[in-house]
Structures are given as C-alpha cells and as structure tokens.
Amino acid sequence: MYNSNENTAKWMPGLSYKCQDDIKLYLAVPVALGDSDGTYYSSNYDEDNRPFDITFALTLDGNYKFVRYE
C-alpha cells in the first residue's frame, strides 16, 4: 500500500506453512516505509514508535456433513 500524498507506504512480506490438510499457519511482518510524519508512522500505537510488527495467524478449515438416517 502506498500513499503518494504523504510519501509513505506499508510493505507486508510474509509466509505460510501448511501443517496438515486442515491447518495453515501464517507469519507476516508489516513494515512502514517513507516519511516519519506520514500516515503509517503517525497511526502507530506503539509507545516506542517502532515501524514494524510481527503477526501470526492460524487457519482451520474443514468440511463436515450431517446426515440423518431414518
């Protein structure tokens, strides 16, 4: 994402790993780039004003059927 008006951008490299058929793990490291007074820096809630964070996510997927026998 790039904001040309404020010369700031957010770059989000990451990777995913499929542990099993129904489980997938994600790791991302969003990084703010550009001017320090731009949107992505100024909307930072970190007290130390670090321009990056680490994000973990887990996706569970499945397909279940409910069958009623009479």
For the chain, domain boundaries: 2-60
Question: What is the pLDDT at residue 40?
Answer: 66
Query: Judging by DSSP bridges, how do beta strands 23-28 and 8-11 pair with one another?
Result: unpaired
Element (H, E) at 39: helix 39-42
What is the 8-class DSSP label of residue 38? S
Profile the chain (70 residues) by mean pLDDT over runs of 10 residues.
77 90 90 75 69 86 78
Q: What is the pLDDT of residue 57?
A: 93
Q: Write down the pTM of the prediction.
A: 0.58
- For 57, the enclosing helix (H) or strand (E) is strand 55-60
Q: State how far the Cα of 26 lies from the Cα of 54, in Å rounded to an integer.
A: 11
